[in-house]
Amino acid sequence: MRIAYEIIGNKAKSVALIGSDIKNPRKAAREIMKRHKSIRFVLQKLDKRQGEFRLYPCKFIAGSKNTEVLHKEYNYFIKVDPRKVYFSSREGTERQRIVSLIKLGERIFVMFSGAAPYAIAIGKKYPNNEIVCVEINVKAVEYAEKNARLNNLTNIKNICWDVREARGLGKFDRIIMPLPESAIEYLDNAVLNSKKGTIIHLYGLSKNFKDLEKKVKEKAETYNFKYKIIKRQKVLPYAPRISKVRLDIKIL
């Protein structure tokens, strides 16, 4: 039986998330739990990310009712409940790509920060770099605080706030916008927190980058800022002929 699924957790306890296209989810859950002894419960994504907190609506299929897991990724841990906070283990490689671009001493702003996986990944390598995270989901911020303590990091500031209303945070050297469905809508807010030379990592959904680049150009014309796209990166497949992509934008 061929089943596409994502695993979040560790060797002791993990969760499997299956897609809405699975016709017999209970049979799929039994098969997955048979293959992986660490999987204690299975959730099925019923639709795309929705609502103010950008969560996948999920249905509990099988296993333990305690859906909190401790995910191990590279040299750090992320505690999360996928029913309450968005998190993708598939993006671990992308987080490391971002870490490889960071420079010592940078001041970093993570928008839509969730349980703070980007901040944790960066903080583990650069424990003295200041990292500010803004996330509207209070449960996600609670997990972000737990994750900072879990990884013994004191350089991360987690703020429960609507990014659109965030003010008084100062200017940043680097801004990460890991919300592909709608990050482009907040690019003007990122620019408000930028200075000359700031690098903005903008995530989006695109066939060939051109549609996303057109939206960036429109934003620049509307809000009167100059920029240069210094890198284009395909991150993950998202749908037929559509990928999750990243544009690295330098403010001029």
Secondary structure (H, E, C), the chain:
CCCCEEEEECCCCEEEEECCCCCCHHHHHHHHHHHCCCEEEEEEECCCCECCCCECCEEEEEECCCCCEEEEECCEEEEECCCCCCCCHHHHHHHHHHHHHCCCCCCEEEECCCCCHHHHHHHHHCCCCCEEEEECCHHHHHHHHHHHHHCCCCCEEEEECCHHHCCCCCCCCEEEECCCCCHHHHHHHHHHCCCCCCEEEEEEEECCCHHHHHHHHHHHHHHCCCEEEEEEEEEEEEECCEEEEEEEEEEC
Closest CA to 115 of 75, 62, 156, 155: 156
The class that CATH gives domain 92-251 is alpha beta
How far is it, in rounded angstroms, from Cα 7 to Cα 17? 7
Contact 211/184 with Cβ under 8 angstroms? Answer: no
Q: Cβ distance 239 to 207 under 8 Å?
A: no
Q: Do the Cβ atoms of 210 and 252 come closer than 8 Å?
A: no
- Residue whose entry in the numeric block shows the structure tokens 């003010």: 167
What is the model's pLDDT at position 217?
98
Residues in the chain: 252
| Spatial contact of 94 and 180, defined as CB atoms under 8 Å apart | no
Residue 240 contacts by C-beta under 8 Å, 6 or more apart in sequence?
A: none
The class (CATH top level) of 5-67 is alpha beta
Every domain of the chain with CATH number 3.30.300 lies at 5-67
**Per-block mean pLDDT, blocks of 10 residues, the chain (252 long):** 88 92 91 94 82 76 91 96 92 98 98 97 98 96 98 98 94 97 96 98 96 98 98 93 96 98
Q: What is the pLDDT of residue 52?
A: 67
- Asked whether the whole model's pTM tops 0.85, one would answer yes
Give the whole-angstrom CA distance, residue 116 versus residue 78: 8
Q: Find out whether 168 and 110 touch, Cβ atoms under 8 Å.
A: no
d(C-alpha 182, C-alpha 232), whole Å? 18
